[in-house]
C-alpha cells in the first residue's frame, strides 16, 4: 500500500510535459479523422493592392478593385450592397496584411490558397500579392499555396458602362515561346518553395481556359507535347513530375470565353491528372435576378453527379460562397441579365447555408472510400463578384467559422 501511494504521489508531482510524453509513449498516435483528411483549397484573386504596373498605367497609382467595392450600390429590391470588409481595405501585397489572411485561413481549416496567376506574352500581371505578400509573410509555412493559370483574355470591365465596346487589354492566348518562359519561371521561383502545394509529391498547377491553351499551340498534339515537356523539366529539376489540373466548365461567363467541343476527350488527350471547377455558375445558369443559393447549389450538385466519373481522372468539387458581379458595372446603369458583368446573382447565401453546402460536399466526398479528398472554395476574396469568405461587417467571421466547424481545423504551427 505504501509503495502504491509513493507511486501515485510521484505521478502527481511529475511535470505536465513529462506526463504528456509518458502518455504519448503508451498510446499509439491516433489516425486522422476522416474529415481532417480532406484538403480544403480556396481560390484567391489578387487585385486588391495599389501599384500594379499595368493597373497604374490604366487606372492610376492608387487604384485597386477596392475602389469598385467602395462604390457599389443596391441595384434592385433586396440587393445587399455595398459589401464592407471587416478588416478594412488592406493592401494584400503587404506581408503583414497577407500574414493576417494566412493565420485566419490556417485557424479556420483552409489548407491552400490557389492564386489566380496571370502571365501574358509580355510578362506577369497581379503577381505582387504572391511575390511581395505571401512569399514574404513570416508565417507562410502555415498553409500551402498553388497556382491556377488564369489564361483568359483581360478585358477592361472595372467598371463596365453598359452598351460600350469591351476593350481587350491583354489576350489570354500565349505563344509557345512564352509558355517556355512560363514553365521555366514556375520551376525556378515557385514550385521548389517549401510551401508550394504538392499532390503525391508533385507540384499542382491548374489551367483555367483549355480553349485558350489550344489556340496558343495550334493543335491538341502540340499542346500535349508542350505539357509533356513541362513535366520532363520538372523531373530534370529533381521533382517526381507535375500534377496538372484542368478547370472545366459547361457554360462561359466572361466575354470571349468558349467551351471546348468535347472536354472529356480533351482532358484525356492532354493527359491531365485531375479536373475541377472554379465557380458553380460555370455549370448552372441562374434563372432569376436573385437566384436562391440552395437552388444554385443543387444545380451544381447535379453537374457533379456526372463529372465525378466521366473524365476518368479525379474530380475536385467546388463550393461557391455567392455570386454578384454588380460592383464591376457602372453604378448609374440599369441592372439586369444583359451579359457579364450585368447578370443574375445569387441571394440568400448566409453563413449557415454556406456551412450546409460545405457539409453536404464533405459527405459526398467521404461517401466514396476510393474517391478524392480535395475540394476548393470560390473564393477567398472575390469581393467584386460577391464570392468571398473573408470577414465583412454584416456577417463577421461567419463564413470562415463555417469552414472551421465543418472541417475542424487541425492545429498548425504559428
Q: What is the pLDDT of residues 194-236, one digit of tens each?
A: 999 999 999 999 999 999 999 999 999 999 999 999 999 999 9
- Cβ neighbours around 46 below 10 Å, total: 26
Q: Mention every residue, 6+ apart, whose C-beta is less than 8 A from residue 117.
A: 127, 130, 147, 148, 149, 150
Question: Which numeric CATH code is attached to 37-407?
Answer: 3.20.20.80
Q: How many CA atoms lie within 13 A of 322 on its CB side?
A: 27
Q: Quick check: 300 and 280 in contact, CB under 8 A? A: yes
Angstrom CA distances, 192 to 187, 207, 227, 328, stand at 7, 19, 19, 36
Q: Quick check: 250 and 291 in contact, CB under 8 A? A: no
Cα 17–Cα 410–Cα 27 angle in degrees, nearest 5:
45
Residue-wise burial string across 213-251, b where 16 or more C-beta atoms lie within 10 A, e elsewhere? bbbbbeeeeebeebbeebbebbeeeebeebbbbbbbbee
Task: Mean pLDDT check: name the lowest of 24-38, 44-58, 68-82, 297-311.
Answer: 24-38
- pTM value is 0.90
H or E, element range at 184: helix 176-189
What does the pLDDT look like over 261-296, one tens digit per residue?
Answer: 799 999 999 999 999 999 999 999 999 999 999 999
Does 53 or 16 have the greater pLDDT score? 53
What does the pLDDT look like over 120-137, one tens digit per residue?
Answer: 999 999 999 999 999 999
H or E, element range at 212: helix 210-217
Sign of CA dihedral 269, 372, 248, 187: negative
242 φ/ψ angles, rounded to the nearest 5 degrees: -130, 150
Q: Mention every residue, 6+ apart, whose C-beta is less than 8 A from residue 288.
A: 344
Could you give the 3-state DSSP secondary structure of residue 168? strand
Supply the DSSP symbol for 34.
Answer: G
**Length reported for the chain:** 414
Q: Mention every residue, 6+ apart, whose C-beta is less than 8 A from residue 162.
A: 329, 330, 333, 334, 338, 342
Query: Cell numbers at residue 228, please?
Result: 509533356
Q: Among candidates 231, 233, 211, 213, which has minimal Cα distance to 223? A: 213
Query: For the chain, which residues make up each domain, given as ranges?
Result: 37-407
Angstrom CA distances, 307 to 50, 143, 265, 376, stand at 39, 28, 13, 15
Name the average pLDDT for the chain. Answer: 91
Q: Quick check: 349 and 321 in contact, CB under 8 A? A: yes
Residue 208, pLDDT score? 98
What does the pLDDT look like over 71-96, one tens digit per residue?
Answer: 999 999 999 999 999 999 999 999 99
Q: Quick check: 389 and 357 in contact, CB under 8 A? A: no
Helix boundaries (H) for 257-397:
263-270, 293-310, 351-366
CB-based burial of residue 352 (10 Å sphere; 0-12 exposed, 13-18 middle, 19+ buried)? exposed
Distance CA 104, CA 90 (A): 15
Q: Mention every residue, 6+ apart, whose C-beta is less than 8 A from residue 215.
A: 173
Does 395 or 6 have the greater pLDDT score? 395
Amino acid at each position: 500500500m505504501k509503495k502504491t501511494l509513493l507511486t501515485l504521489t510521484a505521478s502527481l508531482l511529475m511535470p505536465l510535459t513529462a506526463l504528456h510524453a509518458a502518455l504519448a509513449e503508451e498510446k499509439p498516435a491516433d489516425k486522422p479523422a476522416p474529415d481532417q483528411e480532406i484538403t480544403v483549397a480556396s481560390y484567391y484573386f489578387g487585385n486588391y493592392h495599389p501599384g500594379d504596373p499595368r493597373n497604374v498605367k490604366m487606372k492610376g497609382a492608387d487604384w485597386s478593385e477596392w475602389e469598385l467595392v467602395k462604390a457599389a450600390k443596391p441595384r434592385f429590391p433586396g440587393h445587399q450592397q455595398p459589401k464592407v470588409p471587416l478588416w478594412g481595405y488592406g493592401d494584400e501585397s503587404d506581408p503583414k496584411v497577407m500574414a493576417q489572411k494566412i493565420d485566419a485561413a490556417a485557424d479556420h481549416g483552409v489548407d491552400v490558397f490557389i492564386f489566380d496567376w496571370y502571365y501574358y506574352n509580355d510578362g506577369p500581371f497581379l503577381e505582387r500579392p504572391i511575390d511581395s505578400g505571401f512569399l514574404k509573410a513570416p508565417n507562410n509555412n502555415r498553409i500551402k499555396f498553388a497556382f491556377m493559370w488564369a489564361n483568359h483574355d483581360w478585358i477592361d470591365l472595372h467598371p463596365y458602362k453598359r452598351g460600350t465596346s469591351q476593350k481587350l487589354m491583354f489576350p489570354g492566348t500565349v505563344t509557345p515561346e512564352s509558355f517556355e518562359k512560363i514553365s521555366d519561371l514556375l520551376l525556378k521561383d515557385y514550385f521548389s518553395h517549401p510551401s508550394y502545394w504538392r499532390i503525391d509529391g508533385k507540384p499542382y498547377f491548374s489551367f483555367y481556359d483549355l480553349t485558350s491553351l489550344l489556340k496558343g499551340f495550334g493543335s491538341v498534339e502540340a499542346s500535349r507535347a508542350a505539357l509533356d515537356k513541362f513535366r520532363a523539366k520538372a523531373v530534370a529539376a529533381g521533382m517526381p513530375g507535375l500534377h496538372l489540373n484542368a478547370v472545366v466548365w459547361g457554360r462561359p461567363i466572361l466575354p470571349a470565353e468558349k467551351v471546348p467541343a468535347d472536354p472529356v476527350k480533351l482532358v484525356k488527350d492532354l493527359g491531365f491528372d485531375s479536373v475541377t471547377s472554379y465557380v458553380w455558375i460555370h455549370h448552372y445558369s441562374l434563372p432569376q435576378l436573385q437566384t436562391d443559393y440552395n437552388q444554385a447549389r443543387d444545380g451544381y450538385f447535379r453537374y457533379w453527379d456526372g463529372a465525378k466519373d466521366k473524365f476518368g481522372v479525379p474530380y475536385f468539387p467546388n463550393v461557391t460562397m455567392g455570386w454578384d458581379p454588380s460592383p464591376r458595372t457602372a453604378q448609374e446603369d440599369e441592372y439586369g441579365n444583359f451579359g457579364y458583368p450585368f447578370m443574375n446573382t445569387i441571394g440568400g447565401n448566409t453563413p449557415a447555408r454556406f456551412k450546409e453546402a460545405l457539409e453536404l460536399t464533405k459527405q459526398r466526398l467521404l461517401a466514396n472510400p476510393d474517391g478524392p479528398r480535395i475540394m476548393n472554395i470560390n473564393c477567398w476574396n472575390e469581393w467584386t463578384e460577391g464570392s468571398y469568405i473573408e470577414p465583412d461587417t454584416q456577417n463577421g467571421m461567419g463564413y470562415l467559422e463555417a469552414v472551421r466547424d465543418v472541417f475542424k481545423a487541425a492545429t498548425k504551427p504559428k
